[in-house]
Amino acid sequence: MSSRAGSGLNGYLVIDKPAGWTSFDVVARARRLLGERKIGHAGTLDPAATGVLPLAVGTATKTLEYLSSASKAYLAEVVFGIETDSYDIDGRLIRQSDPGDITPERLEAVLVTFRGEQTQIPPMHSAVKIGGQRLYDLARRGEEIVRTPRPVVFHRLDLRAWEPPVATIWIDCSKGTYIRTLAKDLGDALGCGAHLGNLVRYRTGPFHLCEAWTMTDLADSALPEAWPDIALHPDAVIQDLPALLLDAGEAIAWRQGKTILTAAPAEGECRAYAEDGEWLGIGRAEPDARGWHPAKVVPGAAA
């Protein structure tokens, strides 16, 4: 279920990003279709990739930070024997080798070494900022600089198919993982080079591809009337937080920014609701643990 506050639209809209679109293209188009300016996205997808791109609309933007740390799942096609400067299909060919000695057994043996905690070096063709400059801007000028390895986790790396020279791999990984870099690293490990071909994101946090809308479907929807049927509630990404139910007086105090005292010690964060189920926002435990402070207040949101 989505949420309405005033005349605006609020909630998460799960989009199946089409190939050739940037993530910003999707946001810009959604703004025009929905008539809403307050839209953000979680987890940038490269233009060639498709799949789950969650859009936070209205009050849902208050919970985007909780989605940014979510794990993701992909189905990737890694093409061995061809290495590109961007590590993906859009890059310039820089090396070509014969991958003829690769077998499913060799692939599986290499994948085993990548499972679990790893480090990755961000590709030069990425939006990472170093010294105030985007890496892709430097790459376009032919420059390459030293990048600090970053920790990532591969929860699953499963070989789904091997049709030489393409390996289809199911990937479940932590935030901040570059699948292009994984493709390059696999190619290096097998000695023949590789790049990322097709990539589909099947999941971001709690959002799955089976519930995603195409841009065509969205354009054909009778908006804003259809909004409750196509959007998910803004609290969809904070369901792991404990729920705090407030009576009428406490709900008023909450909206005034007053701490809500509780009998049980407060710890961490919570999601707060009025007696009728209205989502009121997110609370954080006071230092003395005697109550919840309204950290994010959502006025007028209807469940």
Rg (alpha carbons) of the chain, rounded to whole number: 22
Measuring CA to CA, which residue among 19, 76, 15 is closest to residue 49?
Answer: 19
Q: Are strands 50-57 and 194-204 parallel, antiparallel or unpaired?
A: parallel
Catalytic residue among 16, 25, 46, 220: 46
Contact 224, 9 (CB under 8 A): yes
Handedness of CA 157, 160, 165, 171 (dihedral sign): negative
C-alpha span between 138 and 155 (Å, rounded): 32
Please indicate whether residue 220 is annotated as part of the active site: no
Contact 47, 90 (CB under 8 A): yes
Question: Exposed, middle or buried by CB within 10 Å (0-12, 13-18, 19+), for 161?
Answer: exposed
Q: What angle (nearest 5°) sits at the alpha carbon of residue 201, between those of residues 206 and 80? A: 145
Burial profile 120-134: b = 16 or more Cβ within 10 angstroms, e = fewer: bebbbbbebeeeeee
Contact 175, 66 (CB under 8 A): no
Q: Return the active site residues.
A: 46
